[in-house]
Amino acid sequence: MSRPGIRRIVVIAVVLLGLCGIAFAAIAYRPAIARVTRPDPRQFDPALVARGANLARLGNCVSCHQAAGGRPYVGGYPIKTPFGTIYGSNITPDSATGIGSWSPAAFRRAMREGVGRDGSHLYPAFPYTHYAGVADGDVDALYAFLMTRPAVRAVPPANRMIPPLGFRPLLAGWKLLFFDPQPVVADPRQSAAWNRGRYIGETLAHCTACHSPRGLLQQEKRGDRAYDGGWSGGWYAPPINARSPAVRAWTVERLDAYFRTGLSTAHAAAAGPMGPVTYNLARAEPADVRAMATYYAWQMRAAPAARAEPRLPDRRALAGQRHPEGARLYDGACAVCHEPGAAMMVAGRPALPLGTPLHEANPRDTIQVILKGLKPPVAPRGPYMPAFADALDDRQVAEIVAYLQARHGTGPAWPDLETDVAAARKEGE
């Protein structure tokens, strides 16, 4: 090819690239919204603040916007993703490091469109894909609530993203692919409680963020795959749709009790990331919590246990023959609380075979409960289990899990248990 020919191709390529860049910049560019002076906390109607407090509990904001041992809304909690670690931001009304200089319009844009006050795109770890459906009045109530919290000057650790994902304009591309905000339209065929529960659950409470599987770019799978089980902080969030593995029906009553106390006596205690969720729900408006129970019981209405609760086997002898070391370890470490007739059973804790983890498609939650134990999720008095991470090694935990599944499980045997114990140790918080 002649030199002018090459030159022409280069020029055209540069022009095309430039046009693409301009087009992308046009899509990605969002203007900053001017700083405002921090609103005087006394200007907010106390009723609006109280409404916002309830919504913040339903939305479980502190799970990400509070570090372990830190203060609420100050941020700093690490959210581990396949693309790096993102730290929850400071959403106290400190003007320098929080959202004190954000106007209501800036706050609304962040909630609805995932754009910060300065015009930068927010990572979808902040679930604006859900908050886009929050009603105007509720966004304003949350704003009023947050702006009346104590202002704390604190900068969370910098995000650690795999290059080039630290370059936020790229998130505009993610939004083009996956951000398709849909309003939650009331279904007149359903009850007011069902509709309220759906509104809360699908928007502020963002339940699918953990309970739905995610795609390659961490987008939530929707449609038939919604509520089909997902991952959160090294724990498995089981399906809460027709494929719920629970062996007892999730009725409205049982879900309501579980949400408010962190314990369902027909299932198990709230564990892992679900613990803080119940802590907050226990402090939210009971009518709203019951509405969520109404909607999620409906989501699981076609689950196997909702149709017929199975008889639960106790294959003690067989499991002991197959996993003799697991049986010995269970006898020495677990039986004192979990065996029928043990003190904790007499105290009304759910029997081991009722626990949903033993019936899940993978062993992760059973392993995590053994490694990390349970903290009373809602109040100092509540379900507790000591952690065994330091007492037992990977092989020993795997032996116990194999024994438990052989004795009580209802699904196919889990393979590669020891590998998963090692992974659970690494991924768990």
Q: Which residues does the annotation place in the binding site for heme c?
A: 61, 64-65, 207, 210-211, 334, 337-338
Q: Residues 336-365 vs other proteins: string with x where CB under 8 A?
A: xx-----xx---------------------
In the chain, the amino acid numbered 416 is D
Q: DSSP class of residue 41?
A: G
78-81: strand order across its sheet: 78-81, 84-87, 160-161
d(CA 329, CA 335) in angstroms, rounded, equals 9
The tokens of 358 are what?
Answer: 């033993």
Q: Residues 87-126 vs other proteins: string with x where CB under 8 A?
A: -------x--------------------------------
Give the one residue of 145, 396, 402, 407 binding other proteins; rule: CB under 8 A: 396
Query: 3-class SS at 307?
Result: helix
Q: Across-strand partners of 232?
A: 235
Give the one residue of 152, 300, 303, 424 binding other proteins; rule: CB under 8 A: 152
**Range 238-267, binding other proteins (CB under 8 A):** none
Least distance (Å) between residue 335 CB and other proteins: 8
Binding window for other proteins (CB under 8 A); candidates: 188-196, 211-219, 268-276, 332-340: 332-340
Give the one residue of 137, 340, 386, 411 binding other proteins; rule: CB under 8 A: 386
Q: Residues 20-59 vs other proteins: string with x where CB under 8 A?
A: ----------------------------------------
Residue burial 236-267, b: 16+ Cβ < 10 Å; e: rest: bbbbbbbbbbbbbbbbbebbbbbbbbbbbbbb
Give the one residue of 135, 333, 345, 351 binding other proteins; rule: CB under 8 A: 333
The tokens of 249 are what?
Answer: 């029906």
Binding window for other proteins (CB under 8 A); candidates: 136-144, 164-172, 263-271, 328-336: 328-336
Task: Name 65's Cβ contacts closer than 8 Å, sequence gap at least 6.
Answer: 72, 73, 74, 75, 77, 88, 89, 90, 91
d(CA 201, CA 207) in angstroms, rounded, equals 6
CA atoms within 13 A on the CB side of 103: 9
Rank residues 10 and 391 by Cβ distance to other proteins and give the closer one: 391
Q: Residues 57-86 vs other proteins: string with x where CB under 8 A?
A: -----------xxxx--x------------
Beta strands in 225-372 (DSSP E): 230-232, 235-237
Q: Residues 277-316 vs other proteins: string with x where CB under 8 A?
A: ----------------------------------------
Rank residues 165 and 344 by Cβ distance to other proteins and give the closer one: 344
d(CA 279, CA 258) in angstroms, rounded, equals 10
Q: Smallest Cα–Cα separation from 244: which of 350, 361, 352?
A: 361
Using an 8 Å Cβ cutoff, are 111 and 133 in contact?
no
Residue 329 found at the interface with other proteins (CB under 8 A): yes
Rank residues 70 and 353 by Cβ distance to other proteins and give the closer one: 70
Binding window for other proteins (CB under 8 A); candidates: 53-61, 229-237, 248-256, 386-394: 386-394
The site for other proteins (CB under 8 A) is made up of: 68-71, 74, 94, 150-154, 328-329, 331-333, 336-337, 343-344, 384-386, 388, 390-393, 396
